[in-house]
A and B are shown apart, each in its own frame.
Chain A
Amino acid sequence: MAIRRVLIANRGEIALRVIHSARALGLETVLAVSAADRDSLPARQADRSVCVGPARSSDSYLNIDALVQAALGTGADAVHPGYGFLAERAAFARRCEGAGLVFIGPTPEQLDAVGDKLRARAAAEAAGVPVAPGGAVHSQREAAELAARVGVPLLVKAVGGGGGRGMKRVDDLTLLPIAMDMAAGEAGAAFGDARVYLERYVAQGRHVEVQLLGDGRGQVIHLGERDCSVQRRYQKLIEEAPAPGLAPSLRAALHDAAVRFAARLQYRGAGTVEFLVDMERGAFYFLEMNARIQVEHPVTEQVTGMDLVAAQLAIAAGEGLPVKQPAVRMDGCAIECRINAEDPAQDFMPSPGRVTRAEWPQGAGIRVDTHIEAGSRVPPYYDSLLGKIIAQGPTREAARERLIDALARTRIEGVRTNTAFQAELLADGEFVRGGVDTGWLARRKG
Chain B
Amino acid sequence: MSLTAKDVEEILKALQDGSFDTLDLELDGVKLHLRRSGAAPTGAVPAPALPGAAAVVTAAPVEVPPGTTPVPAPLLGIFYRAPRPGEPPFVEVGARVEADTIVGIIEVMKLMNTVRAGVRGTVAAIPAVNGELVEFGEALLFVKPD
Contacts and interface: CB of A to CB of B under 8 A. Distances in A.
B57 A35 contact: yes
B136 A66 contact: yes
B133 interface: yes
Interface stretch (B45-53, B72-80, B117-125): B72-80
B125 to A, nearest CB: 20
A89 B103 CA distance: 36
A70 B137 contact: no
A38 interface: yes
A93 interface: no
Q: Which of B77, B132, B136 has the most CB of A within 10 A?
A: B136
B115 to A, nearest CB: 15
A121 B131 CA distance: 48
Q: How large is the interface on A (under 10, 10 to 19, 20 to 34, 35 or more residues)?
A: 10 to 19
Contact of B136 (A39, A53, A68, A73): A53
Interface string A33-59: 001101100000000001111111000
A413 interface: no
Contacts of B108: 65-66, 69
A38 B76 CA distance: 14
B76 A52 contact: yes
Interface in B105-138: 108-109, 111, 132-133, 135-138
Q: Which of A38, A55, A74 has the most CB of B within 10 A?
A: A38
A196 to B, nearest CB: 34
B136 A52 contact: yes
Contacts of A60: 136
A50 B16 contact: no
A56 B132 CA distance: 25
Contacts of B13: 35-36
B17 A51 contact: no
A73 B17 contact: no
B133 A35 contact: no
A100 to B, nearest CB: 13
Interface residues of B, number: 19
A51 B78 CA distance: 13
A73 B59 contact: no
A70 to B, nearest CB: 6
Contacts of B132: 73
Label chain A's interface by main secondary structure. Answer: mixed
A127 to B, nearest CB: 38
Given A54-B17, A55-B17, A56-B17, A69 B135 contact: no
Contact of A54 (B16, B77, B111, B133): B16
B143 to A, nearest CB: 21
B60 interface: yes
A65 B109 contact: yes
Contact of B59 (A38, A69, A70): A38
B77 to A, nearest CB: 6
A69 B17 contact: no
B59 A68 contact: no
B135 A52 contact: yes
B109 to A, nearest CB: 5
Contacts of A38: 59
Contacts of A69: 76-78, 108-109, 133
A86 to B, nearest CB: 15
Contact of B133 (A39, A50, A56, A68): A50
B133 A51 contact: no
Contact of A73 (B16, B57, B133): B133
Nearest to B79: A73
Given A35-B16, A70-B76, A73-B78, A51 B109 contact: no
Contacts of A56: 17
Given A66-B136, A69-B76, A51 B60 contact: yes
A7 B133 CA distance: 14
10 contacts: A35-B57, A35-B59, A36-B17, A50-B133, A51-B76, A53-B76, A65-B109, A69-B77, A69-B133, A73-B132
Interface of B: 13, 16-17, 57, 59-60, 75-78, 108-109, 111, 132-133, 135-138
A-B pairs with lowest CB-CB distance, top 5: A73-B133, A51-B135, A65-B109, A51-B136, A66-B76
